[in-house]
Amino acid sequence: MNKEIFFTCPYCGEENTVDIDITAGSDQEFIQDCEVCCRPAEIKLTIDRDGGISVETKNDEGF
Ligand SMILES: [Zn+2]
9-35 residue pLDDT tens: 999 999 999 999 999 999 999 999 999
* pLDDT at residue 63 tops 70: no
How far, in Å, is the centroid of ligand 1 from the Cα of 62?
A: 15
Give residue 1's pLDDT: 87
**21 or 63: which leads in pLDDT:** 21
33 CA → ligand 1 middle, Å = 8
Tell me the residue ranges of DSSP E strands in the chain: 2-8, 15-21, 27-33, 40-47, 53-58
Report CA(49)–ligand 1 centroid distance (Å).
30
Q: Which of 37, 28, 36, 26 is nearest to 57 (CA)?
A: 28
Residue 51, SS3?
Answer: coil
- Mean pLDDT for the chain overall: 93
DSSP 8-state symbol, 26: S
pLDDT at 62 over 90: no
CA–centroid distance, residue 57 to ligand 1 (Å): 11
Residue type, 43: I
Q: What is the distance in A from the centroid of ligand 1 to the CA of 8?
A: 8
